[in-house]
Structure formats: structure tokens, C-alpha cells
Structure 1
Amino acid sequence: MKYQKIYDVLHRHPKLHVNDQSYWHSGQSGYIAAIRPLTLIIEAPEAGLRIWVNHENGKYSISAADMTFSCNSCEYHQSFRRYPCRNQTETAEKLEGLLLKKRGDNHAAI
């Protein structure tokens, strides 16, 4: 399976809420499917994070925000962190690390 390492991390954390908007497994083709094959939106209540995992234009990245703040608050927007990753392995490792954080550790960790 494409992106197996990333999906393996998700399967190890059953309490996640995952919105998989990826094109790679949909069978769709076209410009957007080609440049943005992987898009995951993850809510991790135990870590207190909302996480986006992307493979876009050949680059992997993870973004995370503290979901304990209101989405409309300044604190929520200030909590956003972006992590560029070199490859799928590094992306899976960073995702695992974020998911293992406890809710109170987020401000220092993300």
C-alpha cells in the first residue's frame, strides 16, 4: 500500500478521528490528484492536537495545532506548527511523536 508507514501509525492509535481526503486511493486522476496525493486531517483528543499530514508537490509535511483552543481564537492560530519532512519514514516518525505527546505537553512540544 502506498504510504503504508503513515497508515501504520494511524492504526496504532485507534482513538483518532481521521478524515482521509487523499486522492491516491480514490482512483481519481488529474492535476490535483497528481500534486496532492495524500491529505489527512487527524483529530487526536488524547494529544489535544489537530494534525494535517500532506504529500504535496513531492514534499511531505505535517502541521499541528492545539485543538483545546477555539478554532476562532488567536491562541489556536498561534499554536500552529509546521514540520517539513524529507520522506515517508520521517513523516511517520514525526506523526508518531506528536501522537504520543500528552495534552499538557503540547505548547512545548509542537
Structure 2
Amino acid sequence: MKNSTKKNILRTVILSGFVGMASCLSYANAQENRELTSAGEPARWFQEEMTPLAYFKTLKKEAEAVYQESAMDCKRMDSARRNECLRAAKNTLQQDMAAARQKSGYQGR
């Protein structure tokens, strides 16, 4: 299997893990919110902020986590292939960040 294919598979697995974890946390949060709102507190106090900036920050955090994993894998390689691997990881991070801006609609710095 090519190295880029392995990276894509790794990225997919990591992102799938993030999505699964977010789903579990969201469910747990919804359960907690139901309990709290039944105690007389307004539900709006417990609604997650889903602005373009908040969504962008989430996507950015995921992209940076994938980059960090890739960079650690690159650093384990021999010196002849390490620099090429790090450049590819950085390029992937830049592509992921561009996609995050596009998905979220956030156009800040």
C-alpha cells in the first residue's frame, strides 16, 4: 500500500473516532440538559453555540490533530524520507484548513 493511501486511511479512522466521540458526548449532553431543564431552568442555557466560528474551531482542532499524528509518524522515519513526509503532512494540513474555512463559512484571518 502506498504511503499516501495509508495516511488517508489513518485520517479517515481518526476523523471517524472524533465523530463517534462527538456523537456520544452530544447524547450525554442532551440527557443532562433534559434533567436540568426539568428542574425549571431554560433549555436555551444549555444549547451549544453553532456559529461559523465555533464550527471552524472544531474543524481546525480536528485538522491539527491529524497533522500532529502524521508529523509524529514522519519523525519515526529515516532522515531521507522524513522531510518529504513532513512536507506532505503540512500540505494536507493546509488543504484541511482551506476545507474547514469553506465548510464553516468562516473567513477570518
Q: After TM superposition, is the score higher than 0.5? A: no
State the TM bucket, normalised to the shorter chain: under 0.3
Question: Under a length normalisation based on structure 2, what TM-score does the superposition of the two structures give?
Answer: 0.22
The structure that is strand-richer by fraction is 1
Structure whose CA Rg is larger: 2
